[in-house]
Amino acid sequence: MIVQACINGARPIDYHPQLPVTVEAIARDAAAVVAAGAAELHIHPRAVDGKESLRAVDETIAAVRGSCPGSFLGVSTGAWIEGDAHRTLEAIRCWSVLPDYASVNLSEDDAPAVMALLRDKGVGIEVGLASVADAERYIGLEAHERVLRILIELDNEQDLRGDFDVAEGIVGTLQRGNVQRSVLMHGFDATVWPFVRLAKERRYSTRVGLEDGKLLPSGMIAANNAELVAAAVEIFRSES
């Protein structure tokens, strides 16, 4: 059970005053969330114009390794980042400063090709499942167990009961498929903290950060990513 920090995601620059988008800000924020208790980081590197870019992975990962050496670092491979399957694969092929892992969304058509390329490069895979259909597709893939872990992410709905039902459906599908990988579960905006608590109850890992939401459990806006991470770590460490 760990708390992962997802420090920026696809959020627009004006989402929060402390959203890190430059390489320098990402590296600085990474060190702060590790100090707050994050066991690892999930980062969306940005180009100089502030837009997400898979071409910015080398510079960003190098900077973060400098600011918090030894930390476990991951990036997104979301199809929307490059907007084209060929450009996505070509950008990943060009990586020379490798993250420890990369997240791959099973809802995306080119997910199997992205996973194969990551394996060839020696990058771990965090396979993202947002629906039962994603889970079924995952267990149908050849060598599907060759992943770092399963990421159950419910970020399209703000209906907590509905999201819980989807999560249960995904878990049930994985159990029927005898999947043995570890699980990280998270919500989005209104469902962030309910899913942190559910992850603790199920002994799964979780993640928090400005990618997923900016509110603390109290409903107050967090000052920064480190405050969100500290709140999640406190929940995970509590006895209740």
From first to last of the 240 residues of the chain, give the pLDDT tens digit: 899 999 999 999 999 999 999 999 999 999 999 999 999 999 999 999 999 999 999 999 999 999 999 999 999 999 999 999 999 999 999 999 999 999 999 999 999 999 999 999 999 999 999 999 999 999 999 889 899 999 999 865 567 777 888 889 999 999 999 998 999 999 999 999 999 999 999 999 999 999 999 999 999 999 999 999 999 999 999 865
User: Is the Cα torsion angle 176, 76, 62, 206 positive or negative in sign?
Assistant: negative
Give the global pTM.
Answer: 0.94
| Rounded Cα distance, 18 and 98, in Å | 26
**Structural domain spans, the chain:** 3-237
pLDDT at residue 154, as a whole number: 83
Q: Are 100 and 69 in contact (CB under 8 A)?
A: no
pLDDT at residue 161, as a whole number: 77
pLDDT at residue 223, as a whole number: 98
Crossing angle of helices 111-121 and 85-93, in 10° steps, is 10
Q: What would the two tokens of residue 42 be?
A: 């999930």
pLDDT at residue 215, as a whole number: 97
pLDDT at residue 158, as a whole number: 64
For tokens 């979301």, the residue is: 78
pLDDT at residue 157, as a whole number: 56
| Rounded Cα distance, 129 and 94, in Å | 26
Rg over alpha carbons for the chain, rounded to the nearest Å, is 17
What is the fold of 3-237? TIM Barrel (3.20.20)
